[in-house]
Amino acid sequence: MEANLKGKDITLHNKAFFTLQNFMPGSIKASWNNLKNFTPVRTDNFFQTVALFSRAVEKFPRINSLTNRPVWYFVKNGPALLNKLYKRLPQLAGKKLVLKNYPDILKFFAQTRREFVSTNYNSLPKQLVHFDFHPGNVNYLKDKVVALFDFDWARFDNRLADLACTLGQSCYYYRGKNRAVYDKNKITLGLYAYRKAY
């Protein structure tokens, strides 16, 4: 992503909108979005690590000071939270983009809520979840995960929330004609590795 010289939170680049995640001066040298080195061997070990983490923290006591809410809160209150946030957005291109897609966003909320209700998601067991597992939040030694970090999104929710986030942030094509499309082979590999380790 090119630097945003105007200092805004939303950048328009190649007719696409981006939210800046790097507010430090200087040029970007690397990005966790780059899955070029996320090989099948690393994918397998990564998803095994996610499963082992879920098992290790399964009985971790609830911390009352943890303010991050479970996914169901956002699914249940999505439209109201969006309206509140929309009113606070500055008059930038990003606000126009939200307005343009508002009906589709509301449909997405409604569909997601129906799916959560039909699976009785909110009654599933809760435990500590990392909620931000992706290849940029682990350290590898050769092809093995040796460290996990960035726990600022941690919350109490069902472990499926961690698995879904991990799949969403780790199983897409980074480059080429399928850029940003989900890689079904990588999803299959990740799910198999998770189930095997769990």
Query: Which amino acid would we find at residue 65?
Result: S
For the residues 53-82, what does the mean pLDDT come to?
91
More confident residue, 2 or 115: 115
Q: What's the chain's Rg over C-alpha atoms?
A: 18
Residue range 15-25: average pLDDT?
A: 58
Measured between alpha carbons, how far is 1 from 178 in angstroms, rounded to an integer? Answer: 18
List the structure tokens of 184. 């079904």
> Which of 8-12, 91-95, 98-102 is least confident?
8-12
Which residue's structure tokens are 């970007």? 28
* pLDDT for 69: 93
What is the percent of the chain with per-residue pLDDT over 90, rounded to a whole number? 61
Grade residue 3 by pLDDT with cuts at 50, 70 and 90. Answer: very low
Q: Are 136 and 32 in contact (CB under 8 A)?
A: yes
Please tell me the predicted confidence (pLDDT) of residue 25. 59
Residue 188 is predicted with a pLDDT of: 97
In this structure, of 21-25, 119-123, 136-140, 171-175, the range with the lowest mean pLDDT score is 21-25
Has residue 17 got a pLDDT over 90?
no
